[in-house]
Chain A
């Protein structure tokens, strides 16, 4: 069996708000193995990003409270490490890229200075070696005039170019895990495809696992080996991408797939999921999806656990699955 890179076990996290707390993440378990590309899909507000940021301990220290759970990254207990050790791991063992490439680079520093700063922080390369390494990283990202790009300021470059720079930089120290938070959402569709290809190629080459956060099922279906579907702070379904998308078990996953424009026949109205994601401060008791679900029944008033399905890799958090199993 492949080595585990990231293990999130039973993570529950809440944000303190005036006079109480909002539970943003509920008993989430998530595993990423070496070299694997794992997707997290879900609507806005499903806590995809929060979960990923927590894995790197990137949320501001006092903004959240962890109620339960463990996060193990490359054997390190991420909830116990001090800030200094965390900083040493970030960028070296685990890297992250974000949705908005336009603002993700320091606007007043040249690209080269920013890249070299990070490279030299984690390696013992000399200035010259670091520069050569940076050029190689950019060249691998299909940036032809890499040497010249290093002299540029971020605002002189396009969004696609900046995202490729950030991806190149993320791979600078051959991390074991790359967390990609909607890295292509802000890009043109044509650029999107190219960036994803580069991302996958480089990850395979370095055997870097990717935790890929995305709300676009079409992108996920082409890109990820395995999937976690999240809804309102919980994982509702998981399994190999093809299996989950071709035979979704959870009503939410099914609704998501039905809502894809591609699923509609020409001339037919696009289908959406009725209702909205419940407010985290006012969650229904039981299954979070029950109010929008076409199949809700009595059992849904208590929270469904994640049921393993026939294939042990698959699981779904719906009482319907238990019913089917029992039958």
Chain B
């Protein structure tokens, strides 16, 4: 928890410093082209920009702690309100991407470790390198061209078909909201819309997960307890899935936790390609409008999420690894 506080202070300080070092005067932006110097000055006073920097930072930090990230210069709404609107969409996308990467990456990693140096292993390793070296925007465009353009199988952007009434917002996660409302049409549409962006976003991590599982599995399969299990007559399948895999997953949890953090940042590009109305699109627009409070708010929230995820990972360790549980 202390760590969490330190990270918040660190992140806020850095974002604050960067945003104030960048040339560009927010007051001028707000005031517009034809404002007189007096008006600009008054706006500057209103926004607190004429106060000394440390004091500005102090005000900002107090705001963060009380859940106030300032007011967006672009939308003229509190940044927290904007983020509340866009964050669930991003989280949903990142989460589905992570599930996809895990669901495909883990079996691939296991296969790769079990059939080491066989064609499947080479394929997985090639896939992993491809995943890491493929830019998301390029892959996204490719998928849109193929599945939307040529095949017409899946929609090319957005979260849901525009002619479908959205289910009432409960969680902000469209998939869950649709299910809660019992609206299958909306659910199907939402699923169809999330496949391509989630695939694009998850592809990088698919390779990362597969490689992580591969090396962890190879290590576990060489352990003495695997030999004991074989000597005791456990079948190859049981040795792999019941003995080695659960232990191989333990270190992989860290990688998955880090991946979720990366996915939140990584969503920026993917969302832009797929017109996904999440934080990515919001922050891109904010950057272009030099909307400092919005960009800073985004950074702080994502960093916060990153830290929270890693805290959750640490706690999860205690649940899944009895060795760590006993130390604590």
Binding site for B on A (CB under 8 A): 56, 58, 83-84, 87-92, 95-96, 98, 100, 103-110, 117-118, 121-122, 153, 155-156, 166, 169-170
Contacts and interface: CB of A to CB of B under 8 A. Distances in A.
Contact of B232 (A83, A84, A169): A169
Interface string B13-43: 0000000000000000000000000000000
B94 to A, nearest CB: 29
B225 A118 contact: no
Contacts of B326: 153, 155-156
B225 A87 contact: no
Interface size class of B (residues with CB under 8 A): 20 to 34
Contacts of B246: 108
- Interface SS of chain B: helix
Contacts of A103: 223-225
A91 B235 contact: no
B32 to A, nearest CB: 63
A117 B235 CA distance: 12
B236 interface: yes
A58 B230 contact: yes
Contacts of A91: 231-234
Given A103-B224, A155-B326, A108 B231 contact: no
A89 B230 CA distance: 11
Contact of B233 (A100, A108, A121): A121
Given A103-B223, A108-B321, A156-B326, A121 B234 contact: yes
Contacts of A109: 243
Interface of B: 223-225, 227-236, 242-243, 246-247, 250, 320-323, 326
B323 A100 contact: no
Nearest to A179: B231
Given A103-B224, A121-B234, A155 B323 contact: yes
Given A104-B224, A107-B225, A108-B323, A88 B231 contact: no
Contacts of A58: 227, 230-231
Contacts of A96: 231
B147 to A, nearest CB: 41
A241 B320 CA distance: 49
Q: Report the 5 A-B pairs with minimum CB-CB distance, sorted nearest first.
A: A91-B233, A91-B232, A90-B233, A103-B224, A96-B231
B245 to A, nearest CB: 11
Contacts of A90: 230-233
Nearest to B222: A60
B198 to A, nearest CB: 31
Contact of B224 (A56, A92, A98, A108): A98
Contacts of A117: 234, 242
B151 to A, nearest CB: 42
A86 to B, nearest CB: 8
A122 B238 CA distance: 14
A153 B323 contact: yes
Contacts of B232: 90-91, 95, 118, 121, 169-170
Nearest to A172: B232
Contacts of A83: 235-236
24 contacts: A87-B230, A91-B232, A95-B231, A96-B231, A98-B224, A98-B227, A98-B231, A103-B225, A105-B225, A105-B228, A106-B247, A107-B225, A108-B246, A108-B320, A108-B321, A108-B322, A108-B323, A109-B243, A110-B322, A117-B234, A121-B232, A121-B233, A153-B322, A156-B326
Given A90-B230, A103-B224, 4 more contacts: A98-B227, A107-B323, A108-B246, A118-B234
A87 B231 contact: no
A173 to B, nearest CB: 9
Contacts of B322: 107-108, 110, 153, 155
